Every structure is written in C-alpha cells, then in structure tokens.
A and B are shown apart, each in its own frame.
Chain A
C-alpha cells in the first residue's frame, strides 16, 4: 500500500512537473557562479524563494564560457522557458541578438538596459543607496578619512563610489575619501586577499570606515576591517552578520527581489525599463540586531531624513553613469 502510494505520488509529481515545464521560468548565472556570496547568489536566493513559496520549478545554468551566453539563452527559449532572467550586464549583446528571434518569450536582464519590446531591463539606483551608507560613514568616522574598495574598474562601480562620496561629503564636507579599485579584470570580483591589502593600506592612511563594493573581494575587506578594529560597510546582500560590531551597515541591492518579482509575474510580466531605487526598496541600508548598537539616534535620524529627501527629490544624488563623471571626485 505504501509502495503503491509512493508510486502514485511519484507519477503525479512527474505529471505535474511535465505540465509545469511548459512555462517554467529560467535563470542564467554569470561566470562568477551562483555561490559567489554576492550578486549571483542574491539572484539565486530570489529564485529559490519563489520556488519555495509557490512550489514551482525553474531551470538554471551557470555559464562556463562566453560562447554559452547565446547558446543558453536560445536553448532555454526554444524549450519554452518563460520568463528567462539573466544575472549580469555581460548578457547585453547576446540578448540583443536573441530577443528578436523569440518575440513571445519574455527576457529580464539585471544591471543593464536592452531596448527590445520583450525585454525588461532592471537597473538599480545604487548611487542612492551608496549615498545613505556614505552619510553614515561620514558620521561614524572619527578621523575624517573613509575608504572605498571597488571590485572591477567599470562605470557601474564608479556609480557606487560617486554616490558614496556624495553621502560622506554631506555629513562632513571636509572628509577625505580614499578610493581603490581591486583590478580591471573579472578576477577583481573574487580576490579577498587583495581586498584585505587595500583595506590595510587605507587604514594606514587614516581611514576608519571602509565601504566594499567588490563582490567576493569585499569579504576580505570586511575581515580586515574587523581584525583591525575599524568599521566596514557591506554590499548587495545584508552582510551585517558577517562581523557583528564591525560591519557598520550594508548597502542592500535587492537583486533577489528583481528575480523574485520576475518569476512571480511569470510570462505576463511587463517589459521595459524597471528602476529599483530607494522609493520601492530596491536599494537601501541594512539595520538589524547586528548593527543596532553601532548606529546612534542622530545617525538614524539623519539617514532617514536623507532617504525621505531623496525620494521626494529634495536631494538629487548624481548618477555617475549618466555622464561618466562625478562632480565630487
């Protein structure tokens, strides 16, 4: 009897899987892999959350080579996956060529804009979130010198840096911000040792708060900051729990929300430009039990006021990518 039930159950779930397969969503992770503790992992978290809540299934693939970008997109589209989410700006040119061939499939690209009728481009206002954590850094710093460690030297990371500097200067106009990029190749996203070295160098120049916008490299930054007894600021995911007492806050970029929303809306998702900013909680600063003691009332009041002012438009944070330059740097 139990055996029979098992078989029936298996058959039923198979049948369910077969029907669901028609419009299963799919997600493609970039070369960094889905367990990078940062961007790709956030996307994976969003997809998993959707699967757990709805009991649905999704297809996934981690790329191994550049040639597979277009291949994976096409194969998923041919097999009927819908929508197909891509984690990363590097998919732009592959998507440009694939999207027109599958007009009935919806594509979602994160961190990049692809202008096609069946594509949703999700971009984040990282400069706004970075402004807030910059404000906190400027207020928390006793030396008046704070640091920034970026990952790969691309305009997107300069956007983080520029927002951060503006926030720091808003708190303390005389503050000095030391900036370093880890490298110019994708390996800069995953070099915690170098991240630690850069942090040490910044500390020796007087920095006592360091913001890491560097993927896996940031783990080294946070570790060194904790070892040396200064504050650090995490990025993308809430990293406050990594070193409680040392991580001042984290600039959260809710890639998981972008993926979750896309999966939830399914094949009927609205295409076009989708900006996730402070107003819709796409970016923000993290406050939890791990950094509750680090932020005093004055800081909380200031950052919440700034948040409200940015949303209302009273404060406009300059976006580096709008003109590839930063007025305060």
Chain B
C-alpha cells in the first residue's frame, strides 16, 4: 500500500496548507506592525460573529460555489476554464435582459426565467472557446482568457451605449422591477422566527448554489455523461477507444461550465445589486479556480473551499474597516492561501505521504 488514507488527503493536507498560509500571513501582519492575533479575531468575528457577518460571508461564498463548480466540471474533462470571469459577466447580461424585459409579478416566476437566461448566456460565452478547442485545437486556456477581455469590453460598450439610463453617470442599468427582487435570508428566515440581519446580501441563490452542488455530484458520479466526462479527463485515447466523442465531451462540459459560471449572476446581479453594474464579477471567476483546486473538484470540497474564500473576502473587508490594514495586504493573505493550497500543494503532500508510509511500515 503506497497511499495515505483518504482523510489525510482531503482534510489533513488542506489543513496544513492553510495553517502555513496563515502563519505566513501572520508574519506579514506582524511586519507592518499590527497584531496578528487581533487581526485573526477581527476576521473571524467579522465573518461569523453576527447574522450580518454570516450574510456577507455566505453571499461571497455563493459566488465562489458557482464559479468553483464551473472550473471543477471542466477539470473533470481535463480542461482549464479560466474564463469564469467573462462567463459570469455575460451571465449577468442574461439576467439583466430577462429582469428588465418583463415587469415581473413575483420572484417565483422571475427566478427560473433569470436562471435560464444566466445559464444560456454563460454557456453561450463558453461555446466559442469550446468549439475552437474541440475542432481547431486552439488551447482552451488561451481562448477563455482572451474571452474575458472581450467580455469586459463588450459589457463596457453595452452598458455605456445601450443599457445605461440617460443622465446617469455610473455605467449601470436601471433598477430591476420590484417583482424580480429575490428574498434575502432576512425575509426567508423571518417566518421561522429567526432574526437575520436585514441588510446582509445573502439571498435565496445560496440554496440554488447548494442545489447545483448536488446536481453536480449526480451528473459526474451517477450518470452516463458524467462517466464519459471523467473517462475523457483521465485518458483521451482510452475514451476515444471506448466510443466517446471528444468533440461532444469538450463542448458539453465547457457549456455546463459556462452555464454554472453564468449562474453566479443570479446571486450578485439579481440578488444583491438588483441592477447590472460594470465589472460586477469582481474577480470571483478567478477565485473559482482556487476554489476548485482546493476542493479537489468535488462538490463538497468546492462548498467548503468557497466558504473559506467567503470568509477571506468578508474577513478581509473587516480587517480594512477596523484594523486599518491596507487592502493590498488582504490580497496578499488571499494569495498566500491560493499559493499554498494550489501551487505548493506538493511541498506539503510529499513529506506527509512519506511520514504516513514510514508510520505504516513500523506498524506492519
């Protein structure tokens, strides 16, 4: 047996990675003359200490669940979708068009329609890179990242020239109709007698994200298509030999990926800002890559990693607000976590693995 137990792989190693990242962050905070213990306390209290804090943490986590799942499904087909940022932005366009097209009477009608709009637009944006990869061999990493820039330019153009209210200085659409307002946690939990902060942005799309996690699991591990995606990801030649069409798998997995990224817009565009603003994604598409890496492309892992990054984002904001720690340093902390969980994963994995083997040998 030359493997370490599964619990060590999925829990212990990420934990050690995180610990290292936090120790280093602590040293950085110490270096600028602040107290790391106070900083961590501020972060934890600011992200989990009140319902308002939870509301923000879960709001960010919802974004990251969607983009994390998007990257994860592409990983299963061994593709690296860096275009979550652009797909989510275009998904936002889909949501905005749906929400503004009709004066929605109730959110129960608006939500499914907007969900479809977001998914179609997001998938559509992933379609062209997918086609180029499948048929022309243009590398998906290059094309998706280029499409991020195209989407940024397109959204800028549309918001300024087509969707903006005349006289408004900010490049944003008008507010969505009241019927398209998604229930926030406050409104959802009030009937159960739970007092949740009224102003936190967390909303019903968190449940949609959980549903997507479950459907992701069903798709990948319980359906024929999921099997095809996984086998294609493990070995393209073997998959081809088994009669699986590479073109089909690349196209389908990328479109699902784009659709998932697009769904993020339900949370940030429809749930939070309730209008489409420029640059609404704010890097969540890129965080999704770290989330998928850390979550080992498994929905449960993605959920936990998304929660962690939600904590980092919200806790980082609190650090800025109360500790006067500059925002650049907050990015440094996030980057250290990404570095240790993604890039430097093997640095921890190899010694831990050896340790386990040694221990096992001694027991045997």
Whether chain B is bound by chain A comes out as yes
Q: Which residues of A contact B (CB under 8 A)?
A: 33, 59-62, 64-68, 70-72, 74-76, 89-90, 92-93, 112, 153-156, 183-186, 324
User: Which residues of A lie under 8 Å from residue B156 when comparing CB positions?
Assistant: 183-185
Chain B contact patch, size range: 20 to 34
A66–B273 contact, CB under 8 A? yes
Do B282 and A65 have beta carbons less than 8 Å apart?
yes
Q: Which residue of chain B has its CB nearest to the CB of A92?
A: B170
Cβ of B112 within 8 Å of any chain A Cβ, yes or no, is no
Does B51 belong to the interface (CB within 8 Å)? no
Shortest A126–chain B CB gap in Å is 13
Given the contacts A68-B317, A153-B160, A185-B152, A89 and B170 also touching, CB distance less than 8 Å? yes
Residues in B neighbouring A59, C-beta threshold 8 A: 321
Q: A75 near B59 (CB under 8 angstroms)?
A: no
* B159, B160, B169 interface centre (most CB from chain A within 10 Å): B169
Bound Cα distance from A153 to B161, whole angstroms? 10
In the complex, which residue of chain A has the Cβ closest to the Cβ of B326?
A62
Since A62-B326, A67-B273, A186-B279 are in contact, a sample of 19 more A-B pairs with Cβ atoms closer than 8 Å, ordered by chain A residue number, is A33-B327, A60-B324, A61-B320, A64-B320, A65-B282, A65-B313, A67-B56, A67-B268, A75-B321, A76-B321, A90-B169, A92-B170, A93-B170, A183-B156, A184-B171, A185-B152, A185-B171, A185-B278, A324-B167
* A157 CB → nearest B CB, Å: 9
Cβ-defined contact, B278 with A62, below 8 A: no
Note all chain A residues with C-beta closer than 8 A to B167. Answer: 155, 324
- Specify the chain B residue showing the minimal Cβ separation from A34: B326
Instruction: Please measure, in the bound complex, the distance between the C-alpha atom of A38 and the C-alpha atom of B75, giving whole angstroms.
Output: 43
Whether B317 pairs with A71 at a CB distance below 8 angstroms is yes
Closest to B159 in A: A184
Residues of B within 8 A of A33 (CB): 327
Which chain A positions have C-beta within 8 A of B295? none
- Docked Cα-Cα span, A115 to B359, in Å, equals 70
22 contacts between A and B (CB under 8 A): A33-B327, A59-B321, A62-B320, A62-B327, A64-B282, A64-B327, A66-B273, A66-B280, A67-B60, A67-B273, A71-B56, A71-B317, A72-B321, A74-B199, A75-B321, A89-B169, A154-B171, A184-B159, A185-B152, A186-B278, A324-B166, A324-B167
Check B330 for interface membership: any CB of A closer than 8 A: yes
Q: Residue B201 at the A interface, CB < 8 A?
A: yes
CB distance from A74 to the nearest CB of B (A): 6
Interfacial chain B residues near A75, Cβ < 8 Å? 321
Contact A64 B316 (CB under 8 A): yes
Assess whether A70 is in contact with B199, with CB atoms less than 8 Å apart.
Answer: yes
Tell me which residues across on chain A come within 8 A of B157, comparing CB atoms.
Answer: 184
Interface string of B273-313 (1 = CB under 8 A from A): 10101111010000000000000000000000000000001
Task: Give the distance in Å from the alpha carbon of A62 to the alpha carbon of B326 in the complex.
Answer: 8
Report the separation of the CA atoms of residues A75 and B321 in the bound assembly, to the nearest whole angstrom.
8
Q: Please classify the interface of chain B as helix (H, G, I), strand (E, B), loop, or mixed, using the class held by over half of its residues.
A: helix
B272 in the interface (beta carbon within 8 A): yes
Contacts of B201 in A (CB 8 A): 67
Most chain B CB within 10 A, of A59, A61, A65, A153, is at: A65
Interface membership of chain B positions 49-72, coded 1 if the CB is closer than 8 angstroms to chain A and 0 otherwise: 000000010011000000000000
Residue of A nearest to B201 (CB): A67
Pair B317/A155 contact, Cβ less than 8 Å: no
In the bound complex, residues from chain B placing their C-beta under 8 Å from that of A93 are 170, 275
Indicate the member of A70, A74, A93 with the most B CB atoms within 10 Å. A93
Name which of B152, B167, B321 has the most chain A CB atoms within 10 A of its CB.
Answer: B321
Q: Is the pair A64, B171 in contact by a Cβ cutoff of 8 Å? A: no
Interchain CA distance A186-B278 in the complex, whole Å: 9
Known interface pairs A64-B327, A64-B330, A65-B282; A156-B317 also in contact (CB < 8 Å) = no
Most buried by B among A59, A66, A72, A183: A66
Distance in angstroms from A190 CB to nearest chain B CB is 13
Once the chains bind, are A185 and B279 in contact (CB under 8 Å)? yes
A293→B42 CA distance, assembly (Å): 55
Please, which residues of chain B bring their CB within 8 A of the CB of A68? 317
Cross-interface CB contact of A66 among B199, B282, B327, cutoff 8 Å? B282
Docked-complex contact A112 and B317, CB < 8 angstroms: no
Give Cα distance in the complex from A65 to B211, angstroms.
26
A185 to B167, CA, bound (A): 16
Interface residues of B in 243-272 (CB under 8 A from A): 268, 272
Nearest CB in chain B to that of A73: its residue: B199
| Chain A residue at minimal CB-CB distance from B160 | A184
The CA-CA distance from A76 to B317 in the complex, in Å, is: 12
The answer for the CA separation of A186 and B157 in the assembled complex, in Å, is 12
Chain A residues closer than 8 Å to B169, beta-carbon distance: 89-90, 112, 154-156
A38–chain B nearest beta-carbon distance, Å: 17
A67 near B316 (CB under 8 angstroms)? no
Residues on B with C-beta less than 8 A from A72 are 317, 321
Contacts of B171 in A (CB 8 A): 154, 184-185
Taking CB as reference atom, which chain B residue is nearest A60?
B324
- Of B152, B277, B320, which is in contact with the most chain A CB atoms at under 10 Å from its CB? B320
Cα A270 to Cα B321 in complex, Å, equals: 26
Contact of A61 among B59, B275, B321 (CB under 8 A): B321
In chain B between 201 and 237, which residues have their CB closer than 8 angstroms to a CB of chain A? Answer: 201
A155 / chain B contacts, CB cutoff of 8 Å: 167, 169
Of B160, B272, B280, most buried by chain A (CB within 10 Å of CB) is B160
Least CB separation from A68: chain B residue: B317
- What residue of chain B has the Cβ atom nearest to residue A29's Cβ? B327
* 8 interchain residue pairs of minimum CB distance: A185-B156, A184-B160, A65-B282, A184-B156, A89-B169, A154-B169, A62-B327, A61-B320
